[in-house]
Amino acid sequence: EAAVTQSPRNKVAVTGGKVTLSCNQTNNHNNMYWYRQDTGHGLRLIHYSYGAGSTEKGDIPDGYKASRPSQENFSLILELATPSQTSVYFCASARLGVQDTQYFGPGTRLLVL
Amino acid sequence: QQKVQQSPESLIVPEGGMASLNCTSSDRNVDYFWWYRQHSGKSPKMLMSIFSNGEKEEGRFTVHLNKASLHTSLHIRDSQPSDSALYLCAARSSSGSWQLIFGSGTQLTVMP
């Protein structure tokens, strides 16, 4: 199974502060994704990427930026964190085909006070 | 409105029983479906995928797909307490982006 790691695993931030969540995959997958998961909403797509240097907006991009500096790394940046961004964040990766499965990292639990 | 609807929201079955979970897409462009299982505090793990009309069986798990109605169902026979988890249905269109659309999930509890 594909290996996707995330750091940090837990984070407490203050309102207005900057938060960077990191994701690394070692399977040479082209596509990477950032989701947030909240009770009653399932998984919602924030940003995704087709490869190094590319980022695309998902369904809920407001308040988030993304960066894909290399094939392996994909970051999610909260420039001005707000309490509404308290959530669990998952990174996922997949190969290029439409039938390819997405593999998820362990998640980052973010609390914004 | 959610494009992928799952039912029921929660389900309790006795150990050894059959669990049946449903998922329907309202997006006519959807072609492919996945079922993920997420244990409490863990990340989603792909359980089964189905891309063609019909049925697919893997051990105790069976998935059905009806493309005309955009409906898929997951059936777990001989349910075990370790099957207790959130089950997420995901769908993707064969054209356009590589985005997966997730439903809100069915919380399954298997009582010993």
Inter-chain CB proximity B46 and A44 less than 8 Å: no
pLDDT at B72: 97
Residues of B in contact with A108 (CB under 8 A): none
pLDDT at B64 over 90: yes
Region A71-82: what's the mean pLDDT?
Answer: 97
pLDDT at B87: 97
pLDDT at A81 over 60: yes
Q: Is B36 or B101 the better-scoring residue by pLDDT?
A: B36
With pLDDT > 90 as the criterion, what percentage of chain B qualifies? 83
Residue B42: pLDDT band with limits 50, 70, 90 = very high
- Inform me whether the C-beta atom of residue B100 falls under 8 Å from chain A C-beta atoms: yes
| Residue of A23, A35, A37, A39 to mutate when probing chain B, most B C-beta within 10 A | A37
pLDDT at B30: 86
Name beta bridge partners: A86.
none
- Name the residue type at position A30: N
A101 vs B49, B99, B104: nearest CB = B49
Region A34-38: what's the mean pLDDT?
Answer: 96
Region A2-8: what's the mean pLDDT?
Answer: 91
pLDDT at B29: 83
Q: Is A84 or B92 the better-scoring residue by pLDDT?
A: A84
Residue B27: pLDDT band with limits 50, 70, 90 = confident
Residue B107, H or E segment:
strand B106-111
pLDDT at A50 over 60: yes
B51 vs A42, A99, A105: nearest CB = A99
B 6-35 near A (Cβ less than 8 A): 31-32, 34
Residues of A in contact with B49 (CB under 8 A): 99, 101
Closest CA to A77 of A45, A46, A43: A46
* Contacting residues for B33 by C-beta, under 8 A, at least 6 apart: B23, B25, B49, B50, B51, B63, B65, B72, B89, B90, B91
Inter-chain CB proximity B103 and A42 less than 8 Å: yes
Q: Which residue in A has a C-alpha nearest to residue B104's C-alpha?
A: A42
pLDDT at A56 over 90: yes
pLDDT at A93 over 70: yes
